[in-house]
Amino acid sequence: MPDSEGELKEDKIDEKGMDASNEEENVPKVVKEIDEDLKRCGDEGYRDDSEQRKESDEKPKEIRRKHRAKRSSLIPGSIITTTTNKYVILSLIGAGGFGEVYRVKRMNKLPDETNTFALKTETIDENRKHLNRLKIEMTVLQLCNKLPPYRREHFIMLADKGRTEDFKFIVMELVGSSLDIIQREMPHHSFSYGTSVKVGLQTIDAISDLHEIGYIHRDVKPQNFSVGLKDKASTIYLLDFGIARKYTIKDTKAVRLPRETVHFMGTVRYASRHCHRAQEQCRRDDLESWIYMLLEFLDRKSITWAKSINKSHVCSEKEKLFAGDYPLAVAALPEEVHKIISYINSLEYSSEPDYDFIKTMLRQSARKRNADLKSKFDWQPDTSPKPMKSTKPKTTKKHKKSKRVGEMEHELGALYQLAYT
């Protein structure tokens, strides 16, 4: 596969984690095999579309259950080795259908470098050529990391990669909680209008930057956005590119022709209507998933299908929304939000979205709601000075005096001071 689509060469890892010198003889065989294995995959992470169709008879949940049962979790203290680094497992962060994510510490830390990372695994199953999620994730991150600084702000850094006998893995920058977790911990499980708009602006930028490199995400949802740590606590990151797809033709900006039928890719609550209809997704579909997410941040009652698992019913409710049949929670929002919904609905398969229009509408809606976009996110601590509270000593119940006694003591004290002035 050509370099422009993220060719995975036999590169080494330098002191910063990527592309170092060429010492083939020193590379362990099990680590070298990962790139050769990944090269055999197409740019979508599939071996090829025909093999994808052959495997589609088995339900995704059954596939994930088999992989989950087959793998064994790494215990804290386990050592994972790549060509140039060693990592010790600290704890399990999360687990999915095809792998797990661990918090790890780099043992050979370099001066002035962060040594705590996230390590993501994918189970190796030579008997099943399943969707190779880790390969596409690594390809996308490599491309994102090469973007200009202003365009890679919302993507984590890929630090390392490797393979053991049981799994492939990548090592990435560690981030904080997902927007989904943060939202559920908020009062009424919703953000303020100001925070919702700020989140909307950052997440639409992240999606736009992903589209810039020729990929669509296909699973935009709160669970796939996380906040940064320490000095990056105000930055929101787009994560999990396991089912991303290249929508442009190689070495061009031209959009690939849609396939006739496509299997459901995404999450029912946030999936686009085209995804429900087994139609090819493109940039407009990421934006449709994004608007569902934004509405949920503003008011969870906006998503009338939230508790439904019936795909037909969910799609029907989404059709009502885009037909202008708004639930009360959506109808109460500023008209600028309604304009965004209408605009997304107007996009064709190959349309290039006007991301600036969406951001302009968001900012205008914030002004109508008198929302301060310069304030901190709802979940960030308020460090502004607070008025001093009275430090009057408290009296215990046992020595509590009557009001009259207190008044008498005050009067006597005043007379005492007067006598000595």
**DSSP labels, 313-367:** HHHHHHHHHHTT---HHHHTS-HHHHHHHHHHHH--TT----HHHHHHHHHHHHH
Edge-to-edge strands, sheet with 100-106: 79-81, 86-95, 100-106, 116-123, 167-173, 158-163
Task: Record the tokens describing residue 269, joined without a space.
Answer: 């609550």
- The C-alpha atoms of residue 11 and residue 150 are separated, in whole angstroms, by 26
What are the residues whose beta carbons fall under 8 Å from the beta carbon of 240, sequence distance 6 or more? 137, 219, 223, 224
Burial letters for 24-45: b for 16+ Cβ neighbours within 10 Å, e otherwise? eeebeeebeebbebbeebbbbb
User: What is the pLDDT of the chain when averaged over all its residues?
Assistant: 81
Confidence of residue 383 (pLDDT cuts 50, 70, 90): low
Report whether 120 belongs to an annotated binding site. Answer: yes
CATH code of the region 3-173: 3.30.200.20
CB count within 10 Å of CB 221 equals: 21
- The C-alpha atoms of residue 230 and residue 174 are separated, in whole angstroms, by 11
- pLDDT value at position 215? 98
**DSSP labels, 10-25:** S-B--TTSS-B---GG
According to CATH, where is 1.10.510.10 located in the chain? 179-368
Burial of 104 (0-12, 13-18, 19+ CB in 10 A): buried
pLDDT in tens, 14-24: 333 333 333 33
219 classed as catalytic: yes
Tracing tokens 């994930």 back to the chain, one arrives at 64
89 three-class SS: strand
Query: At the topology level of CATH, where does 179-368 sit?
Result: Transferase(Phosphotransferase); domain 1 (1.10.510)
Name the active-site residue from 160, 205, 209, 219.
Answer: 219
Report CA 326 to chain centroid distance, whole Å: 28
pLDDT in tens, 185-234: 998 888 999 999 999 999 999 999 999 999 999 999 999 999 999 999 99
Confidence of residue 382 (pLDDT cuts 50, 70, 90): confident
According to CATH, where is 3.30.200.20 located in the chain? 3-173
